[in-house]
């Protein structure tokens, strides 16, 4: 890649199209999810090598529970397996792992695995890899609002002092910069309840490629697109 290319600090990805990839290859849907997991593993490594500081991926939405019991079960099994693998990958590559989303709905062993993954990689200083599971932006904002109300009623916070940055600090993404670039694969061009607050000024890149076919060249294409954008934040140009 052109070395003058500016690398976005935070890249967010809606990994879509596993099902259609499986259909195109005449294999069961689950195989699409498995292939998607392998793509994700490679993408995490690519992001770390490129010097991206934050990578946030949408793995399972609050709406995805509506899928068949069979598919949800298969995805949970995949998370279980992946949580273990990820601990190894994160340790070897100095990656800090963080989960965003509502965790109480997961099986106890999965919750424990997530906690272990976060705690054991907390001190790592390389890429911050954020996985959104049982994540919905509206759910995240409602949970945040409830916490704010509790803190106000307990006298820990003044209602008049609630600013945009206060609100941000009550979201699951507290402390993280907003994404600079958002990528969605598989040709769909909607947010599907992903980071609605955080993506206010993010550049969007859409590609028809199904997630299992995404690779480093595709990531670099998205970064090149980002470099061609004139970044504005409501009037002023960056820098
Ligand atoms: C994305 O692929 C993965 C998840 C939502 C878990 P899909 O399963 O949505 O694939 P399509 O959209 O049906 O092709
Ligand atoms: C969004 O994809 C969620 C994830 C990629 C995890 P979906 O495939 O679930 O979204 P819709 O249903 O097409 O909006
Ligand atoms: Mg989909």
pLDDT of 168-185, one tens digit each?
999 999 999 999 999 999
Ligand 2 center from residue 123 Cα (angstroms): 32
Distance of alpha carbon 69 from alpha carbon 51, whole angstroms: 39
Report pLDDT for 3. 81
40 Cβ inside 6 Å of ligand 1: no
Q: What pLDDT is stored for residue 238 in this prediction? A: 56
What's the pLDDT score for residue 237?
60
pLDDT at residue 4 in the model = 85
The CA distance from 75 to 69, in Å, is: 10
Question: 57, 47, 37: which is closest to 94 by C-alpha?
Answer: 47
Q: Which residues surround ligand 3, an ion (CB under 5 A)?
A: 16
pLDDT bracket for residue 1 (50, 70, 90)? confident
Residue nearest to atom 14 of ligand 2 (CA): 192
19 lines ligand 1 (CB under 6 A): yes
- What's the rounded Cα separation, in Å, for the pair 58 and 135? 8
Per DSSP, helices labelled H in the chain are 18-24, 29-50, 69-92, 108-121, 137-153, 164-169, 216-227
pLDDT at 14 over 80: yes
Please name the residue that has the structure tokens 């490679």: 42
- Average pLDDT of 25-35? 97
Which residue out of 64, 65, 130 has the highest number of ligand 2 atoms within 8 Å of its CB and is therefore the one to mutate? 64
Instruction: Give me the pLDDT at residue 236, please.
Output: 63
Burial class of residue 63, CB neighbours in 10 A (0-12, 13-18, 19+): exposed
| Mean pLDDT estimate for the chain | 95
- Which ligand has the minimum distance to the alpha carbon of residue 20? 1
Reply yes or no on whether the pLDDT at 232 is more than 90.
no
Predicted pLDDT at 239: 53
Tokens encoding 140 = 């995240």
- Residue pLDDT, tens place only, 61-116: 999 999 999 999 999 999 999 999 999 999 999 999 999 999 999 999 999 999 99
Pocket test for ligand 1, best of 14, 15, 18, 28 (most atoms within 8 A of CB): 18
Question: For residue range 208-228, what is the model confidence (pLDDT) as tens digits?
Answer: 999 999 999 999 999 999 999
- How much is the pLDDT for 81? 93
Does pTM surpass 0.85?
Answer: yes
Name the percent of the chain lying above pLDDT 90: 93
Percent of the chain with pLDDT over 70: 98
Helix (H) or strand (E) holding 157: none
User: Which residues' Cβ are closer than 6 Å to ligand 2?
Assistant: 14-16, 58-61, 64, 188, 190, 192
Element housing 131 (H / E): strand 128-135
Residue 231: predicted pLDDT = 78
Q: Kindly give, in sequence order, each residue whose CB lies less than 8 Å from that of residue 89, ignoring residues fewer than 6 positions away.
A: 41, 44, 45, 95
Please tell me if the CB atom of residue 140 comes closer than 6 angstroms to any atom of ligand 1.
no
Would you say the CB of residue 15 lies under 6 angstroms from ligand 1?
A: yes
Residue with the bigger pLDDT between 2 and 85: it is 85
pLDDT, position 173: 98
pLDDT at 47: 97
Query: What is the rounded CA–CA span in Å between residue 221 and residue 202?
Result: 17
Cβ contact 44:127 at 8 Å: yes
């Amino acid at each position: 890649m052109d070395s003058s290319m500016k690398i976005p600090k935070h890249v967010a990805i809606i990994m879509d199209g596993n099902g259609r990839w499986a259909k195109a290859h005449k294999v069961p849907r689950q195989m699409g999810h498995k292939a998607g997991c392998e793509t994700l593993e490679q993408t995490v490594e690519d992001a770390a090598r490129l010097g991206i500081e934050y990578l946030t991926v949408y793995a399972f939405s609050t709406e995805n529970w509506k899928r068949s019991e069979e598919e949800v079960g298969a995805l949970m099994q995949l998370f279980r397996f992946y949580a273990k693998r990820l601990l190894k990958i994160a340790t070897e590559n100095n990656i800090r792992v963080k989960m965003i989303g509502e965790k109480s709905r997961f099986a106890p062993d999965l919750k424990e695995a997530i906690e272990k993954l976060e705690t054991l990689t907390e001190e790592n200083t390389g890429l911050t890899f954020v996985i959104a599971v049982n994540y919905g932006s509206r759910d995240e904002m409602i949970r945040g609002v409830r916490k704010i109300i509790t803190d106000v009623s307990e006298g820990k916070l003044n209602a008049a002092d609630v600013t945009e940055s206060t609100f941000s600090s009550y979201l699951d993404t507290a402390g993280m910069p907003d994404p600079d670039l958002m990528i969605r694969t598989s040709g769909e061009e909607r947010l599907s309840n992903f980071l609605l607050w955080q993506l206010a000024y993010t550049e969007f890149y859409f590609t028809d490629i199904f997630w299992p076919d995404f690779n480093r060249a595709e990531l670099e294409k998205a970064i090149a697109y980002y470099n061609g954008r004139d970044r504005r934040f409501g009037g002023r140009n960056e820098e």
